[in-house]
Amino acid sequence: MSSSEKVLVTGAAGFIGSHITDSLLRLRYNVVGVDNLSAGRLENLSFAFRQRNFRFIKSDILVDRNWIPEAKGISSIFHFAANPEVRHSIMEPLSHYEQNLTATMKLLEFGRKNDVGLFVFASSSTVYGDPERIPTPENHPLKPISIYGATKASAELMCQTYARLYGIKCLILRYANIIGSRLRHGVIYDFLIKLMKNKKVLEILGDGTQKKSYLWVGDAVQASINLAKLALESAHNIFIYNIGNNDWTSVTDIAKVIIEVLGLKDVKLTFSPGTSDGRGWPGDVKLMLLDISKLKRDLNWEPSLSSLEAVRIAAKSIAEELKII
Ligand SMILES: NC(=O)c1ccc[n+]([C@@H]2O[C@H](COP(=O)([O-])OP(=O)(O)OC[C@H]3O[C@@H](n4cnc5c(N)ncnc54)[C@H](O)[C@@H]3O)[C@@H](O)[C@H]2O)c1
The 10s digit of each residue's pLDDT in 287-311 is 999 999 999 999 999 999 999 999 9
Contacts of 176 (CB under 8 A, 6+ apart): 125, 212, 213, 214, 215, 242, 243, 244, 245, 288, 289, 290
Q: Give distance in angstroms: CA of 20 to centre of ligand 1.
A: 12
Q: 168 and 162 in contact (C-beta within 8 Å)?
A: yes
In the predicted model, what is the mean pLDDT of the chain? 97
Mean pLDDT of 178-185: 98
Please determine, for residue 61, whether its predicted confidence score (pLDDT) is greater than 80: yes
pLDDT confidence of residue 4: 77
The C-alpha angle 256, 308, 208, rounded to 5 degrees, equals 45
Determine the residue type at 307.
S
CA distance 297 to 313: 26
Please determine, for residue 222, whether its predicted confidence score (pLDDT) is greater than 70: yes
Q: 23 and 221 in contact (C-beta within 8 Å)?
A: yes
HSE-CB of 140 using CA atoms within 13 angstroms: 24
Ligand 1 atom nearest 37 alpha carbon = 37
Would the CB of 33 count as within 6 Å of ligand 1?
Answer: no
CA distance 9 to 197: 35
pLDDT confidence of residue 274: 94
Ordered structural domains, the chain, with CATH: 6-178+214-243 (3.40.50.720), 184-213+249-287+305-321 (3.90.25.10)
DSSP string, 74-123: -SEEEE--S---HHHHHH-HHHHIIIIIIHHHHHHHHHHHTT-SEEEEEE
Q: What is the pLDDT of residues 86-144, one digit of tens each?
A: 999 999 999 999 999 999 999 999 999 999 999 999 999 999 999 999 999 999 999 99
Q: How far is CA 312 from CA 36, 180, 296, 301, 307, in A?
A: 30, 9, 24, 22, 9
Would the CB of 60 count as within 6 Å of ligand 1?
Answer: yes
pLDDT confidence of residue 14: 98
Q: How far is CA 57 from CA 45, 67, 276, 321, in A?
A: 12, 6, 45, 25
Cβ neighbour number for residue 274 with a 10 Å cutoff: 17
Mean pLDDT of 254-274: 97
- Which alpha helices (DSSP H) does the chain contain, by range? 15-26, 46-49, 68-71, 86-91, 93-96, 103-113, 147-166, 187-197, 217-233, 251-261, 293-299, 307-321
CA distance 273 to 19: 33
Which SS3 state, helix, strand or coil, does residue 222 take?
A: helix
CA distance 126 to 124: 5
pLDDT confidence of residue 100: 97
Mean pLDDT of 262-286: 96
pLDDT band of residue 1 (cuts 50, 70, 90) is: low
First and final C-alpha spacing in the chain: 41
pLDDT band of residue 271 (cuts 50, 70, 90) is: very high
Which residues are marked as active site? 148
Would the CB of 9 count as within 6 Å of ligand 1?
Answer: no
Q: Give distance in angstroms: CA of 265 to centre of ligand 1.
A: 34
Which SS3 state, helix, strand or coil, does residue 323 take?
A: coil
Q: 151 and 96 in contact (C-beta within 8 Å)?
A: yes
CA distance 87 to 175: 17
Mean pLDDT of 54-72: 97
pLDDT confidence of residue 3: 62
Q: How far is CA 14 from CA 9, 84, 88, 105, 186, in A?
A: 10, 10, 17, 20, 14
CA 248 from chain center: how many Å? Answer: 17
Task: Determine the residue of 178, 182, 185, 214 to mutate for testing ligand 1's pocket, defined as the one with the most ligand atoms within 8 A of the Cβ atom.
Answer: 178
Percentage of the chain modeled with pLDDT above 90? 98
HSE-CB of 260 using CA atoms within 13 angstroms: 11
Would the CB of 16 count as within 6 Å of ligand 1?
Answer: yes
The pTM score is 0.98
Would the CB of 36 count as within 6 Å of ligand 1?
Answer: yes
pLDDT confidence of residue 109: 98
Please give the residue that has the higher pLDDT: either 249 or 4: 249
Q: Give distance in angstroms: CA of 14 to centre of ligand 1.
A: 6
The C-alpha angle 244, 249, 254, rounded to 5 degrees, equals 115
Please determine, for residue 2, whether its predicted confidence score (pLDDT) is greater than 80: no
Query: Maximum CA pair distance of the chain?
Result: 59
